[in-house]
A and B are shown apart, each in its own frame.
Chain A
Amino acid sequence: MEKGLLQKNKILGINILYIVSILPLIIFAFYKNGLMVYNNGETTMFLAFQYLIIPIIIIVLSYVFEIYYYLIIKKDSDCHNVVNSLAPYVNALCYLVCGPRDFLWVTIPLIIMFDILLKFIDNKWSINQIALFKCVLVALLAITGFYNNANLYELNNNLNPSLFDYFIGRSVGCIGTTSVLCCLIGYVVLLFNKYYKKEIPLLAILGYSIVAIIIYFVGGLSFTNLLIKTFKSGFIFAAIYVAPLSMATPVVKSGRIIYSLLIGMICAILVNIANFYMGIYIVILISSFLVPLFNKFKLSVS
C-alpha cells in the first residue's frame, strides 16, 4: 500500500542532490589544482590527489560530528536528524571557497570547528555559514600575510587567460569557485531539487546585470571586461551556491526577491567599480543577518 508523502525521507533526497551538484566543482578543482600542477611537475601525486581526498574527508567527518551531536549531545533516539543534516554539503562548500594553497589539511579541522561553533548559535542568528567562513579565513590569511589565490602552476607561470578560459575556470581563484561552466552544471542539478531556492541565483544575476549594464553605458567598461570581472570574481559561484543557502535566506517570496536583487546589485558595484571581489561574501554575510527583516516583506492577508 502507498504510504503517502508523510514520511518519505525527503531531506535525504535533497542532500544527495546537493552533494551531486558540487561534484563537478570538486572534480574540476582536482583537475585544475591537482592534475594540471602535477603534469607540470610542480607537485607530487599525493598532493595532487589531496584536492579529491580532502572534500571526501570533510563530508565523512561532517557526518561523524552530526552523529556525535545528535546521538550523544542531543540524545536523539534515532538518527533521522543525522541523515537529514545539510552540514556535509555546507562544509564541502566551505572547502571550495578556500585558496588552493591555504594549508589545505588545516582547513579540515577549521571547517569542522566552525560547523560545531555555529551549531550552538544558529538557532538564534541567521548566518550564512559559507560567507562567514570565507570572511574569517581571508581575514586570518591577510593578517598572517599568506593570502594568495593562485595555485603552484599559476604562481610559477605568467598566464594570460582568455574569456573562454575564465568561463571554463582555468584562472586564478579559490579551489572550486573559478569554473562558471561547472557552476552552471551544478545549477542544472539543483533545479531538480525542489527545496533549493532556485530563483535566488536568477534574481541575483538579474540585479547584477542591471547594474552592469548601467556601468557599461555610464562607466565605459567594455562588455568583455565586464564578463571577465564577473567570471573572475566568483560571483556566479556565490550566486548559485552561497546566496541561496536555505538556512540563511528569507522564507517569504517577496523577501527573497529583494534579498537576491540587492545582493546582485551591490555585488556588481563592488566587482566592477571597486574591484573588491571579497565584497561578494561580505554582502551575502550582511544580507543573511538581515534575513528576519526581509521576512517581513510579505503580502498581507485581507
Chain B
Amino acid sequence: MKLTYKFNNDEKNLEINKEEYLAPENIIVYIREGDTVYVKNGDYVYINQLIKEASNGIKSYATVSGTVEMNEEEGIIKVVNDKTNSAFVSEEALDDISEVKKEVILEMCENLGIDYENKLIVNKLKNKSKVLIINAIDVEPYQFNNNYLFQDNVTGLLETTNLLAKRFNIDAHLILSKYDDNNVAAVREIIAKYNDINFKVIPDVFPYTTNQCIARKYFNAYKYDDILFLDTFALYKIYMALKEGLPVADRYITICFGEATKVYVVKTKYGANLGELIKNSLSESIENKDIYLNNFMRRVKCDNLESLVVSDNTKTIFIFDKQDIKASKCIKCGKCVDICPVEINPLAKVLDSACIRCGLCSYVCPANINLLSKEK
C-alpha cells in the first residue's frame, strides 16, 4: 500500500508492506497477583478458550491451539502451538447484527471482558454519552494498523457504529484520514445506507488526531467526558463480540525501521513474542538496535524485545540504529512551546495536566532534551 503521510510539516510518500505472523511457535500469557487461572500444566486449549481472568475482569484467551506449559514461578502460561488451529465456535454467532438489542450489546461487551478499554466503553454507554466518535485514524506517529483493519471490515464496522448510534440514541461520527484514499472511497460508497452516521475526513497530522485534539477542534460544544471515543480496534472487538460471540485473537501491529525508512504492518496473534515475530516474519536482526514502543518521541526504550509479547498496548515498534542521545543546554528557542498541540509550556518544571504526552516537544528540541522527563 502506498500513501502520503504528513509528520511535523514533512510530507512523505510511504510504501507499507503487509505481512502475517499467524502461526507463532507459542503464545505467552502473564499471570499476576489476583488472577484466576482456568488451565493447568499439560491441558490442551483451543483458540478462543478462556485461560485466565484478572481481578479487574479483563479476560485472556488462547489465540493458538496447543498444550499448556505453566511456569508459576515466573508467572507465565505458555501455549505451545500445535498449528492445527482448532478453535471454539460460539453458539451466539449472528448473521445479522442490526437487530441486536441494547442490553445484549452491553452484556456481550461486559461478559467477554475483552479489555480494560471495553470496561470503559460499557460504563460510558451506560452513562449515556452524548456523542460517539469513531476515530479510525491511527493516533500514534507512523502507525497504520487501523488502515488495514478498517479496510478488512468496512461493512461490519459501519454496521456496528450504526447499531450503537440507534440503540443508545447517540450522535455518531466517523472520522477518517483524508490521506487514507482506499478507506475514504470505500466508506463513501456505502455510507448512504447508514443514515445514523456522520462521516468526516480530517488531515492525519500527528498529534492532531488524538482524541483530545479532535474533541477540542471539532467537538468543543461537548464536554470531553460526554464523548465516547472508540478507535477502530475497540469497535472491531464489539463487532466480533456481536457477530461471532468471540473475543479477537489477532491484531495488526506496525513495525517501523528508522523514521519510516521501511514500514511493515504485521497481522499477528495476541501473546506472540515480538522478538520472534520480527526475526521470522521480517527476517531482520534487532541486535544492536534501539527499540521504542508505540511512540519513539516519548523516548521510552524497550531494553529487551525478546521478553515482550503482543498485547493491547503493542501498536507500533520503532527500530533505530543504536544511538546515545545526549542532551545539551536549553537554548530557549521556544520550538517546544510553538509546536505543542495543547498550547502548554513544556519547559515548565511540572508538566501541565493538559499534556497529552505526544512527545513532539522533545522531538523538535535542538538540544535533545527529553521534555517529558522529570529531570529536564
Contact = CB atoms under 8 A, between A and B. Distances in A.
Interface of A: 1-7, 10-11, 14, 78, 80-81, 84-86, 194-195, 197, 246-253, 256, 295, 298-302
B343 A298 contact: yes
Given A5-B363, A11-B366, A14-B366, A84 B329 contact: yes
A69 to B, nearest CB: 11
A7 B369 CA distance: 11
Contact of B335 (A81, A195, A300): A195
A5 B343 CA distance: 23
Interface stretch (B20-28, B64-72, B100-108, B317-325): B317-325
A144 B332 CA distance: 37
B259 A7 contact: no
B259 to A, nearest CB: 4
Contacts of A10: 366-368
Contacts of A301: 342-344, 352, 354
Contacts of B336: 251
A252 B345 contact: yes
A7 B332 contact: no
Nearest to B328: A84
Contact of B337 (A11, A194, A251): A251
A81 B326 CA distance: 9
Contacts of B329: 81, 84-85
A7 B324 contact: yes
Interface in B247-276: 257-259, 261
Contacts of A299: 343
Contacts, number: 94
Contacts of A14: 331, 366
Nearest to B347: A251
A249 B337 CA distance: 13
11 contacts: A1-B320, A2-B259, A3-B321, A6-B368, A7-B323, A7-B326, A10-B367, A84-B367, A194-B335, A253-B334, A298-B343
A250 to B, nearest CB: 7
Nearest to A13: B366
Which of B216, B259, B325 gathers most chain A CB within 10 Å?
Answer: B259
Nearest to A295: B345
Contact of A252 (B259, B261, B328, B334): B334
A78 B326 contact: yes
B338 interface: yes
A85 to B, nearest CB: 8
A80 B320 CA distance: 21
B158 to A, nearest CB: 32
Contacts of B324: 7
Contacts of A3: 258, 320-321, 323
Nearest to A250: B334
B221 interface: no
A1 B321 CA distance: 7
Given A4-B258, A6-B320, A301-B344, A253 B333 contact: no
Contacts of A295: 345
B323 A256 contact: no
B46 interface: no
B206 interface: no
A301 B336 CA distance: 16
Contacts of A6: 296, 299, 320, 323, 325, 363, 368
Contacts of B325: 6-7
Nearest to B365: A10
Given A84-B328, A84-B329, A249-B332, A4 B345 contact: no
A256 B296 CA distance: 30
B259 A4 contact: yes
Nearest to A249: B332
B331 A195 contact: yes
Contact of A11 (B296, B321, B328, B352): B328
